[in-house]
Amino acid sequence: MDLGLKDQVVLITGGSKGIGLACALAFAAEGARVAIASRNAAHLDAAAAQLRAAGHSVFTCAADLCDAAEGERLAAAVQAALGPIDVLVNSAGAAQRSPVAELTAAHWAAAMQAKFFTTIHAVQAVLPGMAARGRGAVVNIVGTGGKMASPIHLPGGSANAALMLASAGLANAYGRQGVRVNAVNPGLVATTRMQEGLAAQARASGETIEVVLQRQQAALPQGRICTPEEVASVVLFLASKQASYVSGAVLTVDGALTPMVV
């Protein structure tokens, strides 16, 4: 199947590891011109080395997307290096997971900064250009915590819920200008963020991380944890011409763990 991604300029925030890096590798394999962003320059260097070892070129830019001005600077740098941005994938930012007994007001504010605003600042930086050109695709990688409340992920889940609404609303607002916006809600995925969540759950329950992991894996309908590459495949489809009439969707990728009709 031709996804129509060859020579498309794709910016991936949070592209230095986990799902973001898997997306970068997948888009590059389709012939896209890939840019990745992260706050951590060392992580960017490691990711770039992995992409180049796989035979792909990549543009990197360090940016802290908690700052709206950094989003504008990032978009300008990518466009100067590669050209107008055709696809934006937001995988940056993750709220700290904490048992509810540990929460303070600062946790709630930090979650919005870490997850909601890192995405919104990137989106705001690229949407006007996409709208002016009459084309573009945005895929926001959010998380199932925005639909299913978890006592160790309430601030982050609230930020996720806000992102889902923003994604659907922006899709509606920009549809006539040729811009599609979708969201992907991964469930449990084998990344470092999963390990942080397991640690928080272990603190809340008084169990070991190993016990928590075994219990969560046993509850998965497919009996295994999702890989970053499996999420990346969904992101590629949503960004591609094959999904030309898919916009405003919030697609859960959790292997049927939450059997909800939405």
Domains of the chain: 9-253 (3.40.50.720)
Q: Quick: pLDDT tens for 164-214.
A: 999 999 999 999 999 999 999 998 888 877 777 777 777 878 888 888 778
Structure confidence at residue 214 (pLDDT) = 84
Residue 83 to residues 25, 79, 88, 178, 241, Cα–Cα distance (Å): 19, 4, 13, 18, 19
Structure confidence at residue 244 (pLDDT) = 98
Cα separation, 1 vs 181, whole angstroms: 22
Supply 243's token pair: 């999904």
Structure confidence at residue 95 (pLDDT) = 77
Q: Quick: pLDDT tens for 93-147.
A: 877 878 888 899 999 999 999 999 999 999 999 999 999 999 999 999 999 888 8
Supply 211's token pair: 């016990």
Q: Quick: pLDDT tens for 213-255.
A: 788 888 889 989 999 999 999 999 999 999 999 999 999 999 9
Give the DSSP letter string of 188-206. Answer: SBSSHHHHHHHHHHHHHHT
Cα separation, 165 vs 182, whole angstroms: 10
Tell whether the model's pLDDT for residue 85 goes beyond 70: yes
Alpha helices (runs of H) in the chain, residue ranges in sequence order = 18-29, 41-53, 68-82, 105-111, 118-133, 154-174, 192-205, 209-219, 228-239
Structure confidence at residue 97 (pLDDT) = 79
Cα separation, 68 vs 65, whole angstroms: 6
The residue ranking higher by pLDDT, 97 or 67, is 67
Structure confidence at residue 262 (pLDDT) = 61
Tell whether the model's pLDDT for residue 159 goes beyond 90: yes
Q: Tell me the CA end-to-end span of the chain in Å, nearest whole number.
A: 28
